[in-house]
Structure formats: structure tokens, C-alpha cells
Amino acid sequence: MTCRDVLDRVEAFAAGDQQPDGAARAHIETCLHCAAALAKARRIETFLTSWAAPEAPPRFTATVQNRIRRLNWQSEERIDRVFNGAMVAAALLVVVGVAGMFNVEMVVAGAATLADVLALAGAAAVEKAAPSMATYVAAMGLLASAVVMWWWTEGTFDR
């Protein structure tokens, strides 16, 4: 029996998980180092088994609940701030829209300008397409006949 053999089992002896056999007991009786280690392990074991820890303070549960309420309130407040921001933006849009509606002259003038632009663009497109008008008409006729044939065949095979 060596010191290493005993020291490996000192905690188990101290906790009562193992009992020292004859050889271990004899070694401990004659080896000051191992005897001191066992004594120290026993003191540690005694301390740990009787280690006092204070209880939570009496108002602990109420304090936890207050913190939860405060956190919930803060989170609701954040949501409220986002909602309020969105409402302010929406209100601004409505104000701008209403102001636009009341300023009819500006709206009519804007619409007239847009109509002029579209008319000019349409006239230019017609002028450009006029020389090839016969080709466009023929192509449209072909496309229409193709669509009619497709519709007729679909109807025939579905029956």
C-alpha cells in the first residue's frame, strides 16, 4: 500500500462511501502525510454537509414579480412608441392628401399636363406606325385567327 493508493481514496473514506481496509488503515496509522490528508478531507466533508446558506429574503417573490411587471411595461412602452410613430406618419399622409384635394386647381393643372404629355406621345407613335399599318393589321388578323382556332380545338377535345 503506497501513499498514492491511499490518497486516491481519501475523499471516499471521508464521505463514508468506502471503508479503509486493513492495509489502508495500517498505512494511515504510520504515514503522517496520509493521516493529515484524511483529517483534512474529513474536515472538508463535515463543512460541506453542514454548510449553511441563507434563505432568500422575505420580499423576494414580490420583488421578482415587480421586476417582471416593470419589464413587461417597458416592452409595452416600446410597442406603444412604434405604434405612435406609425400613427403620426399616417396622419401626416392624410393631411398632405387632404391639402392636395382642397387645392383643386393644382390637381386639375397636373392632370391636364399629364393628358397633354400622353396625347403628344400617342400622336407621335401613330405617325411613326402609319407606313407599316397594313403589316400590323395583317399580323393582328393572323393572331386573331390563331386564337380562334385554339379556342375551337380546345372546345372540341374537351367534349
**Chain positions contacting another protein, by CB under 8 A:** 10-12, 14-15, 37, 40-41, 43-45, 47-49, 51, 53-57, 60-61, 63-65, 67-68, 71
Instruction: Answer whether 45's CB lies under 8 Å from 70's CB.
Output: no
Between residues 27 and 45, which has the closer beta carbon with respect to another protein? Answer: 45
**Cβ 68 to another protein, closest distance in Å?**
5
Cell numbers 416592452 correspond to: 75
Between residues 59 and 159, which has the closer beta carbon with respect to another protein? Answer: 59
Q: Is 6 exposed, middle or buried (0-12, 13-18, 19+ CB in 10 A)?
A: buried
**Cβ 101 to another protein, closest distance in Å?**
47
Between residues 56 and 101, which has the closer beta carbon with respect to another protein? Answer: 56
Between residues 47 and 157, which has the closer beta carbon with respect to another protein? Answer: 47
**Cβ 39 to another protein, closest distance in Å?**
9
**Cβ 64 to another protein, closest distance in Å?**
5
Question: What is the distance between the alpha carbons of residues 150 and 80, in angstroms, rounded to a whole number?
Answer: 59
**Cβ 63 to another protein, closest distance in Å?**
6
Between residues 43 and 78, which has the closer beta carbon with respect to another protein? Answer: 43
